[in-house]
Amino acid sequence: MLDIIKSAELVSYPAVLEFMEERVSGIIDGSKRECLWLLEHEPLYTYGTSAKQTDLLSKDFPVYEARRGGEFTYHGPGQRVVYVMLKLEPHDLRKFVWRLEEVIIQTLAHYGVAGERREGRVGIWVIDGGEEKKIAAIGIRVRKWVSFHGISINIRPDLSHFKGIVPCGISNYGVTSLEKLLLDIDDNEFDNVLVEKFYSIFCHPAA
C-alpha cells in the first residue's frame, strides 16, 4: 500500500526534511508505508551536493541545504512539489529516474504539452516562444534503496523568483510554467492526473 498525502497549505521546508527522515527510516525498517506527498512551499531556495555557491545570485528568500543530489533550485507557491518515498529495485536508480521523468511527461501530455528529456540536462523541457525552457525539476537521494525528495512542476509560480539562482547550474536556458503556456490548470485535477500517471508507471509499468 502507498500513502498519498496532499497538503492544501504551504509547508515549511524544515518540516518536510524532518518528515522524510522519519518516514524513510520507517520504510527501511518496515514500520511505515511508502508515500507520495504533494504540496507547495513558501518561496525558498535549496541546494544539493553538486551546488556551486556562485550559482546563488540572491538571498531574498531562505536558503536550505537539501541533503539531495543536484544543484540550486527554487520552490514556491504555484509550483507542485511531489516528495517520493519509495523502495527502489537495488542498483536500478536509472530506471527510477526515468520513471519519475515519465510521470511528468505523461502528466503534461494530458494537458497537450510536449515535455521532453534532454541528454546532459536534468529535468523536463518544453518549447515556449520558440525556445527550450525547463518546466519541471528532479532531485533525489537514496538511503538503503529508499528514495527521498522527488520532483517539482511549474504550474503558476512567480517565474521572476528563479532569477535569484542559476537553476540546476544551467545558465543558457530559461524556465517556464503551464500558466505561461496559456493553460489554466485546476490544482485538484492536476494532482489526480499526476497520481494516476504515477500508479500507471510505477505499479503497472510497460517498461
Phi, psi of 23 (to 5 degrees): -65, -45
Q: Measure the CA–CA gap between 64 and 17, rounded to whole angstroms.
A: 10
Helix residue spans in 140-203 (DSSP H): 187-198
> What is the DSSP code string of 63-105?
EEE-SSSS--EEE-TTEEEEEEE-BPPTT-HHHHHHHHHHHHH
Q: Measure the CA–CA gap between 56 and 164, rounded to whole angstroms.
A: 6
Among candidate residues 27, 35, 166, 168, the one labeled active-site is 168
168 has catalytic annotation: yes
Contact 115, 105 (CB under 8 A): yes
Q: Measure the CA–CA gap between 69 and 46, rounded to whole angstroms.
A: 11
Residues forming the active site: 168
